[in-house]
Structure 1
Amino acid sequence: MLTSTDVHAAAERITGVVRATPVWTTTLDEVAAGLTFKLEMLQHTGTFKARGAANRILAAREQGLLDPNVGIAVASGGNAGLANAWAAARLGVPATVFVPQSAPAAKIRRLQAAGAQVVATGSEYAAAYTAASEHVARTGALHCHAYDQLEICAGAGTLASELLAQTDRQLDTVIVAVGGGGLMAGVAAALDQQDISVVGVEPSNAPTLHSALAAGEPVDVSVGGVAADSLGARRVGDIAFEVARRRQVTSVLVTDEAITHARRLLWERWRLVVEHGAATPLAALLAGAYRPDDGERVAVVLCGANTDPTDL
């Protein structure tokens, strides 16, 4: 079970490896609440996932589970792959990243530039995941999951620990995007002992958490839309589901149109560049999917910046 103790241990472990990202407090006429943005898109590799990757590898090294000659393996052509490749290079171990054959050449070049060996296999993520698992069984590489491992989730939750200190705990609600749920799980666990609510926001055409809560268990969903590159998991993780139910995380959905509007507003009003998935929490406020009370102190996590800025 993921708890605040795991997040605190992760925070100590990755201090000096990842960046402490800033916060910025502002107001929006469209939202009655006071807003604090956690600018996590300024993290190494452009997303929060660097935190979990660093924590996973360092924890494994402490426990004697990491062979420094074999290194790590991960299935992901997106943010998780890049974060794990970076963390492995930062900590001096090899990384093998398995991607679908459909992975864009630009992403493969970024992974290779980060020092990873890239293996393209199959037409979908599932095939890449199977190949990564077989590589782990064959070589003894450390498996780094994109979102459903305790150390990965705990590392992600360290941004909430930072946020608490940066705001002197003057918060009522933290709003985060949900794909596989690792970020939401880490944030909610970090706030275990706090009187602070967590709201998880998903695209309406990729409702992994929403569907799981309705069904009473994680279920497969179809995935599509503008945020599918970062919020494209087909099923919420088991860790995330347990934390969401235990912490009574509020789940809301937003449309692609709302996400696109929020992303563009962040650019036009404040020159903040984020990917569509990172704009999803703000979309919930702008579209009224989550309506804070007057005076509610709300933090919005802007979790990633790996995007094409030409369509802002």
Structure 2
Amino acid sequence: MTAGLLAPPTLIRTTRGRAVVLGLAAVTMAVEMASLVVGRSIHIGSQPLSASVLPGLVLLAALGAPSVGRAGDRDRLVPFWIAMAAGLLLGVALLSRTGDLADLLGLVVAAANEEIVYRFAVPVVLATALMVLRVPTRAARVAGYVAAGAWWVLLPGHQAQTDGAVAMVTYASFAVISTVVVARSRALIPMSIAHCVLNVITIAHLRGDITSGGRGALSACLLFLLVGTFAWPGDRPGRRAAATDDGDQDLVTDTVIDLRDGQRPSVHRGEDLTWVDEPSEDDQPEPVGAPGDRRSANHGPPRH
């Protein structure tokens, strides 16, 4: 079945759809780089946004339903979304008092854009490029996530808020947590909302509405809910079982591996086949007979 942009839940389940997703990811990454070099941004309220938000939101729509994520236990979704709703209501209460309610929309869009760019677009483009260079699939995927996380930590806006090693560790820790959440559950949209709520908590602290201790406690609770819902280590067997029926475990693998129609990248040199990513023994291809050997699966053993 062929799916187009009007059928986002199945877009990454087709060869053409995955090519579209990968192309959008490359455009999003390129626009992000250009926006950083030029130093220009667009605004919602007083919130500056990278120009990559435009292709980024199209990319999110193209990803469709899989970007909502897969919880280890659906019962945990209730407290998680209650907490997210409370955080957004806190933002409404804080920003409406000063007439800056449009800034809340800006915070939501900015958080979503950063998650789309640095938890999906950059990792998938880098992983694909590394696979073209014959880097094994798993190593390429990990390298893509690590490079994207480091890039996010070093963004100019984040560096401007970093006044010491503690702040740097905080940003690095958040990059690791958000990467793990998205990689284990595809929860790109929940991660975006949680990112926005953390920004609301930070604004409340800067305005003097909550203390430093309160900010730390609220942030810790939110991150615990996030990891507990979408990336708890004990849920790994369940996630793997679900992945059997619903594709791979993360959006990057869905796009990169499926882009090759599930085939392992390999190189043919005459009669020899070399795997780029070494498979298990069960996945090895059937041996090919020598040119002078008349045996084949269809004709049985040679006659004498």
Same fold (TM over 0.5): no
Which of the two has greater helix per residue? Answer: 2
TM-score of the superposed pair, with normalisation by structure 2 = 0.25
Structure number with larger C-alpha Rg: 2
TM-score by length of 1: 0.24
